[in-house]
Homo-oligomer: A and B are copies of this chain.
């Protein structure tokens, strides 16, 4: 069996989504990538989470061609593959239908950076994609979803803004590996929820200043990080 460690990690990340209440039914999927081998490990499509084992995961190449596995991969695989090909700095991708992040996606609104919880993880607003054209939907829909995510980032560093909301659909998040992708999906949901409450209390809430955004983001990321017990790696 190829990539047993990565399979175990990707399974764990998928189960993390369930434990943290981010997925409904069999929705949601996490993948991880082995850069040296050029292989993706992803959740199978529509298999109940409580029956999922490492051998159920599917191994594909970076274009989504199945290399190992008897089950169908998640139908969102082409979106993951597009992101791995576009962003060499990421090692895992997580997709959920978590409720508040999905509400922002359905509202087609980016999530403004209103506080330090957001700034600790995301260096600025969480972008939302443009609605897809009928042609893009009728065509290679899942791959085109990946392209819409890249367009929404608009040149931003995917490590600094590790999530995008897909309009009328839901969030995709990523990270250095599958576990961090799942963690970012979790933090994103919390950020989306508190942003919702904030704007309900005060629709004109003005968000963090540029200096507060930088202070918090760089307190946890980069060479000058001083949060936690070890220097942050990226």
- Interface residues of chain A, those whose CB is within 8 Å of chain B, are 24-27, 44-47, 71-72, 75, 97, 99-100, 102-109, 114-117, 131-132, 134, 137-138, 141, 168-170, 183, 186-187, 190, 193-202, 205-209, 211-212, 215, 219, 226-229
Contacts and interface: CB of A to CB of B under 8 A. Distances in A.
Contacts of A27: 117
The list of the 6 closest CB pairs from A to B, nearest first, reads A46-B228, A103-B197, A107-B202, A107-B201, A106-B198, A106-B115
Contact of A46 (B25, B106, B229): B229
Tally of this chain's copies: 4
B198 A200 contact: no
A168 B107 contact: no
16 contacts: A45-B227, A46-B228, A46-B229, A72-B226, A75-B219, A103-B198, A103-B200, A106-B198, A107-B198, A107-B199, A115-B168, A117-B170, A141-B215, A168-B208, A196-B197, A196-B201
A72 B106 contact: no
A190 B116 contact: no
Contact of A106 (B132, B169, B205, B226): B205
Contacts of A71: 229
Nearest to A136: B211
